[in-house]
Amino acid sequence: MSNHTPGPWDFEPMRVNCGYISTAVVFRPARKKDFSDSEPIGQLVSDYGLETVNANARLIAAAPDLLEALQDMYEWHEIREDPEWHGSPLEQRASKAISKAIGERE
């Protein structure tokens, strides 16, 4: 079972470079009007450039949604007992990605 901070996650793109370093913040958006439930997930700091840092932050912010969608797709195929699914390269890739995301394998 995954112990990650539940989604949804979002990110704040940085619009300017701080010298040679670019940053972006990934966070769990507030649901309360006083913002007391907003949680920082992490901050990306890199010298790869602003465009790359923001692209990486977008991907990280989408991770909970991507994991949930992949788990739903996997379960849908399992329930259907699709003979083309079981043992297929796509089934194997999906299984490995889910395991990696929830910490069952590195």
Q: What is the pLDDT of residues 87-97, one digit of tens each?
A: 999 999 999 99
Residue 92 sits at φ, ψ, to 5 deg, of -65, -45
Is residue 52 within 8 A of residue 67, CB to CB? The reply is no
Helix (H) or strand (E) holding 41: strand 39-46
Cβ distance 2 to 102 under 8 Å? yes
Write out the H or E segment, with its range, that includes residue 55. Answer: helix 50-80
Predicted confidence at residue 1, as pLDDT, reads 47
| pLDDT bucket at 4, cuts 50 / 70 / 90 | confident
Query: Each residue of 21-65: pLDDT tens digit?
Result: 777 788 787 777 766 777 778 887 777 777 888 888 888 889 999
| CA–CA separation, 23 and 40 (whole Å) | 14
